[in-house]
Amino acid sequence: MSDETSRISPAAAPALAAPLPEPRGFGFAAAARRAVAALGLALARHRKAIIALQWFVVVFYFALVIIPAFMPLPPEGAHLWDNLRLFAQFVFWGVWWPGVMIATLTLGRVWCGLFCPEGSLTEWVSWRGLGKPVPRWLKWSGWPFVAFVCTTVYGQLVSVYEYPQAALLVLGGSSVAAIGIGLVYGRGKRIWCRYLCPASGVFAILAKVAPLHYRVDRSAWDKEENEASERKRRVIPIQPVNCAPLVDIRRMTSAAECHSCGRCAGHRDAVQLAPRVPGAEIVDTQSRASTAEAITLLFGILGVASAAFQWTVSPWFVQAKMRIAEWLVERDSFTLLQDNAPWWLLTHYPEANDVFTWLDGALVLTYILGGGLLLGAVLGLGPLLAAALLRDRRLPWQRLTMALAPLAGISVFLGLSMLTLTHLKAEHVPLGWVGEVRIALLALGAGGAFWLALRLVLQSSAGWLRRLLALACMTFPALLMVEVWYTVFFVW
């Protein structure tokens, strides 16, 4: 483990808070850059306050996860403000997670670095754990995608959005796993967050769109390091930064793995919180574009997640269930029509008249996995064909796929907001404005995807006809996702 990721000492505060040279220039833009840089330095200076906030979030999080699971069903006429079960549901799925998605799209992974209870816990226990090195199998880049798909599907099977017992099982189980990983691997690190967190892959993709990031001036870093090595003594020795998610800060060029915690702001006068053009990282052909990220975006966020949000309102699901049930009854086969599955395997709450049969479970699994993977495959045709047309090594299908990131973030937000609106509707909140807002968000997501695709295609040296055809191919998946959500909101 390098000295740049070793434990930080109390003496490090002056070095971490060392101010970078202020951005030059006049006017609003320069003032905004200075304000953003100052915010990053403030996060570095006030680590104690951030840690206190993190522990408050941990307590609040576990209170909302654990207590409602042991409460009875809300009585008729209960409201969000007078029933903890309803309040917890609304906070988790109606406010918390939609807010996290918007925050990641706009600010980067601030949720991970400043608020996430699992991240705080796994880092805290890792100081006291075995401190074993991370094995090679755990570093596999596909774990976030697998974890995301498994968590999404399992959450739907047990109705994690509706019942606190299921939420305790899924969210609490994830927290226990995070603590377990922290107790075994790393020393003061967030191994769980870096390699195994089900949401890590989603956050990494959305953070690429964010207009804020921690910029590293490599030349300034190297210059300061060379000057330090020439002097035998320094008045204030520069202490290493403990980067909990194991980012090589010196060589950091992407916001995907950075948790935006601010610890490294001002380090070696080379790290600074800075604004950038939204999506600049995606259109930069020097940035990383991995197959794992492309698969997560296509098959995870746009595919499986969309299917998970939509199956409850899909007439196709109902029709398939009725036809299969009739076919089974005609043949006196009732095994799949039984509802004796335990609640931790399939939804089973007779007191709420909500019970899944084995057929329900099989169809939910088929709809989400089959439909999600099929949708992802169809969406992937656009980047694949565009890459084949451009024939540019700088623009492989993986990089072109990243242009869909804004639409992916909006898609997840729209899906989660369906739960928000369900709660608001139950409280008789006027919702006449919802249709227009949904259309505006879809237009924003599709427009952002088209703009990034255009900027990528224009970098190609291919002829204008092939570039035009490639852009048309990239427009196809954006329009398809708009059609999917339009059908859900305005047809079904």
How does pLDDT run across 307-352, given as a tens digit for each residue? Answer: 999 999 999 999 999 999 999 999 889 999 999 999 999 999 999 9
Closest alpha carbon to 269 in 226, 208, 210: 226
Q: Are 305 and 168 members of one domain? A: no
pLDDT of residue 15: 37
306 contact partners, CB below 8 Å, separation of at least 6: 372, 375, 411, 415, 481, 484, 485
Q: Are 486 and 361 members of one domain? A: yes
Q: Are 106 and 41 in contact (CB under 8 A)?
A: no
Mean pLDDT over residues 267-271, rounded? 90
Mean pLDDT over residues 50-63, rounded? 95
Q: Are 328 and 473 members of one domain? A: yes
Whether 399 has a pLDDT exceeding 60, the answer reads yes
Band (pLDDT 50/70/90 cuts) for residue 28 is confident
Q: Are 298 and 440 members of one domain? A: yes
Whether 11 has a pLDDT exceeding 60, the answer reads no
What percent of the chain clears pLDDT 90, i.e. is strictly above it? Answer: 81
What's the mean pLDDT when you consider all of the chain?
90
With b meaning 16 or more CB within 10 Å and e meaning fewer, what string describes 248-267? ebbebeebbbbbbbbbbbbb
30 within some domain = no
51 within some domain = yes
364 within some domain = yes
Q: Are 191 and 326 members of one domain? A: no
481 within some domain = yes
Mean pLDDT over residues 231-251, rounded? 77
Q: How many domains in the chain?
A: 2
Band (pLDDT 50/70/90 cuts) for residue 6 is very low
pLDDT of residue 269: 87
Query: For residue 133, which amino acid is it?
Result: P
Among residues 185, 207, 229, which one ends one of the domains?
A: 207
Among residues 172, 207, 242, which one ends one of the domains?
A: 207
Q: Are 299 and 195 members of one domain? A: no
Whether 18 has a pLDDT exceeding 70, the answer reads no
For residue 274, the tally of other CB atoms under 10 A from its CB is 18
Q: Are 184 and 314 members of one domain? A: no
Distances (CA, A) of 452 to 405, 438, 458: 9, 21, 10
pLDDT of residue 230: 58
Whether 10 has a pLDDT exceeding 80, the answer reads no
Mean pLDDT over residues 89-98, rounded? 91
Q: Are 314 and 203 members of one domain? A: no
Quote the CA–CA distance of 73 and 104 in Å, as a whole number: 34
The domain containing residue 190 runs over which residues? 46-207
87 within some domain = yes
254 within some domain = no
Q: Are 362 and 485 members of one domain? A: yes
Distances (CA, A) of 331 to 197, 360, 362, 443: 45, 18, 19, 49
83 within some domain = yes
∠ CA 345-171-214, nearest 5°, is 140
Q: pTM of the prediction?
A: 0.89
**Helix ranges (DSSP H) in 311-404:** 315-330, 358-365, 372-390, 397-401
Write down the residue that tokens 């992974």 correspond to. Answer: 109
220 contact partners, CB below 8 Å, separation of at least 6: 268, 269, 270
Whether 441 has a pLDDT exceeding 90, the answer reads yes
Whether 81 has a pLDDT exceeding 80, the answer reads yes
Q: Are 195 and 296 members of one domain? A: no
Mean pLDDT over residues 154-168, rounded? 95
313 within some domain = yes
Closest alpha carbon to 280 in 253, 257, 258: 253
Whether 9 has a pLDDT exceeding 50, the answer reads no
The tokens describing 210, both together, are: 């964010």
Q: Are 203 and 298 members of one domain? A: no
The tokens describing 27, both together, are: 């006017």
Quote the CA–CA distance of 304 and 486 in Å, as a whole number: 18
With b meaning 16 or more CB within 10 Å and e meaning fewer, what string describes 449-482? bbebbebbbeebebeeebbebbbebbbbbbebbb
Band (pLDDT 50/70/90 cuts) for residue 361 is very high
Band (pLDDT 50/70/90 cuts) for residue 227 is low
Among residues 186, 207, 228, which one ends one of the domains?
A: 207
